[in-house]
Chain A
Amino acid sequence: MPTAAKIETKDLHLWYRTFHALKGIHLAIPSRGITAIIGPSGCGKSTLLRTFNRMNDLIPGARVGGDVLLDGASIYRDALSLTQLRKRVGMVFQRPNPFPLSVYENVAYGPKIHGMNDLHGRVRRSLEQTGLWSELGDRWHVSALSLPPEQQQRLCISRLLAVEPEVLLMDEPCSALDPIATARIEELMIALKSTYTIVIVTHNMQQAARVSDYAAYMLLGELVEFAETDKVFTQPADSRTEEYISGRFG
């Protein structure tokens, strides 16, 4: 892999009580660009993604073994607070989940809780980055829940950008959207990838092929293959990857 790893997992295991969901994952996600995590349902994609910002800590009975490094520092062992970690590693969910507040307050939320200055400038820049600023005009004080789902999802991305994260984790961010809306989110991801390290979980092979630079294939809690997307899709090293991809494109 080129460039230094932004996120690196070392023999990462995760148990949901007795269920072994991640089985010794070794993965080095390069800085910047888009990394797609693909694999059949229930293979542990979301679980892996949630170890990167420690959202699994909220699940009673979830236990982590091994380590995850962010810029070479352990996020589980080193003195990085959860608050700081999640500020640096933001997350977009499957269903758009803007807060029941106004558009402005949604974006201002992160800077406020992290005590950042220049609230207005931040809100404006983040909305501009996702194209919402010009689309909404002066409607930044309407309830976020009154927006259509695609704008809601872009608002959720703006909300993250406002705290200047380094990594964006996206768990099937388009699965609740129609194809046109999906295309807009994909465009946005491509526009953002020069600044941010984006990790996306997707069921949609075409989407992974379209947007990602690197692809990881998971199966039953294991990482089967990780390489440049072109390589994974055209000449996979593992026969299980080939089977899955040809089946999904078929």
Chain B
Amino acid sequence: MRTGRLLSSPEEERLTRPSPFARRAARGSIADVLAAWTIKICATLAIASLVLIFVFIGREALPILTSEELHEEVDVPRLFLPQPGEEGGSEFAWRPVSTPPRFSILPLFVGTLKATLIALLIAIPLAVGAAIFTSEFAPSLAREIIKPSIEILAGIPSVVIGFFVLMVLAGWLQSVFGWTFRLNAVTAGVGLSLAVIPIVYTVSEDALSSVPQTYREGSIAMGATRWQTAWRIALPAASPGILAACVLGFGRAVGETMIVLMASGNAAVLSFAPTDSILTFSAAIASELGDAVHGGAHYHVLFFIGAFLFVLTFVTNLAGQWWVTRLGRKLRGELVYVPTMPSPHVATGPGDA
């Protein structure tokens, strides 16, 4: 026996000796390595495509800053500062195809801001309210019905929402409120909110559901009502998640194109009135890029707007991320306390634990 084993060739040894466990472990480790590499490659590809998109947009936007030739028609100050108007005076105008063209992006900026703000003003209270209702008050059966129903809303193509607002809601709202412009910032905002609600709702609901039940028990046992418990304990405890939900909602509202294209009126007027028509950044890019002369001023301005949108959402997400983490750490008591000044109380206290 012993001699036989000693004499066996390495191959034979390998085929006969290893226990099934060892072999499975070996196969497991190969699979592990493969999986690790696959994940690494996917992650790299994702990041690379993001960088490539930005490089592409940035390259097309850059001439606004650098090209002497383009500066005849447009440069950065002219994007932001008032320009001589058609009938004298000065104005902020977006008239990319008039002669001379006007490329003030301020009307677009204000339009985007108005639509986004209105959308969030509608969506956040509704979505967070619904999330509070389903996680704190609704019987579990109602929750099982309501949650998936709202989440289905997220799957509705934005063109359908846009169509609905354009054909049904806008007319209805105009007849109720008597607006001059049938399509305006409010109709766009309402349409956008339909797209934003499911995101904010789902993320907020998850945040509220993961608040430990022991907090609620502690509050109820103190004689608090369910309302007080929801409002003063559950909501603050879930605040990082709800904040994250709002940031996601903002990103969706700023970037959403089809709904605003169909429901905003697409008129670049600089006005802070919510009932005036608007043209948003995303709608301007979508509707005008196809007709803009390749390499012309209009073309590069649209890319500049694209880059601006990219940076805006990126910075918002980053800031949101930072704030969410900070809130979470504060809630978990991880933020290090730095005493500002030794107070008389500390000096007299018998011991500082």
Contact = CB atoms under 8 A, between A and B. Distances in A.
Contacts, number: 101
Contacts of B330: 143
A71 to B, nearest CB: 17
B222 interface: yes
A25 interface: no
A156 B214 CA distance: 12
Given A101-B236, A109-B222, A146-B337, A93 B349 contact: no
Contacts of A55: 217, 220-221
B2 interface: no
B236 A110 contact: no
A227 to B, nearest CB: 29
Given A114-B223, A142-B337, A100 B353 contact: no
A114 B219 CA distance: 12
A100 B232 contact: no
Interface stretch (B11-19, B175-183, B339-347): B339-347
Interface string B198-238: 00000000000000101101111111110010001100110
Q: Chain A contact residues (Cβ within 8 angstroms of B): what range?
A: 35 or more
Contacts of A79: none
B219 A109 contact: yes
Contacts of A221: none
Nearest to A142: B337
A160 B337 contact: no
Given A113-B228, A143-B333, A156 B218 contact: yes
Contacts of A156: 218
Given A86-B220, A100-B215, A137-B352, A113 B346 contact: no
B335 interface: yes
Interface residues of B, number: 33
A151 B225 CA distance: 27
Contacts of A134: 349-351
B331 interface: yes
B332 interface: yes
A82 B217 contact: no
A163 interface: yes
Given A144-B333, A146-B334, A146-B337, A151 B353 contact: yes
Contact of B232 (A82, A109, A143): A109
A34 B240 CA distance: 42
Contacts of A109: 219, 222, 224, 232
A85 interface: yes
Most buried by B among A137, A146, A148, A156: A137
Contacts of A53: 221
B349 A135 contact: yes
Given A58-B220, A100-B331, A138 B353 contact: no
Most buried by B among A58, A113, A144, A163: A113
Contact of B343 (A135, A137, A143): A137
A145 B331 contact: yes
B76 to A, nearest CB: 46
Nearest to B238: A100
Interface in A73-94: 82-87, 90-91, 93
A160 B346 contact: no
A137 B351 CA distance: 8
Given A113-B228, A142-B333, A143-B333, A86 B214 contact: no
A16 B332 CA distance: 35
Contacts of B331: 100, 143, 145
Interface of B: 212, 214-215, 217-225, 228, 232-233, 236-237, 330-335, 337, 339, 343, 345-346, 349-353
Interface of A: 53, 55, 58, 82-87, 90-91, 93, 95, 97-101, 109-110, 112-114, 134-139, 142-148, 151, 156, 159-160, 163
16 contacts: A55-B221, A82-B223, A85-B223, A90-B221, A91-B221, A97-B212, A99-B233, A100-B237, A109-B219, A110-B222, A110-B223, A113-B225, A113-B228, A142-B333, A159-B222, A163-B222
Closest 8 CB pairs of A and B: A146-B333, A143-B333, A145-B333, A86-B223, A137-B346, A97-B214, A87-B223, A91-B221
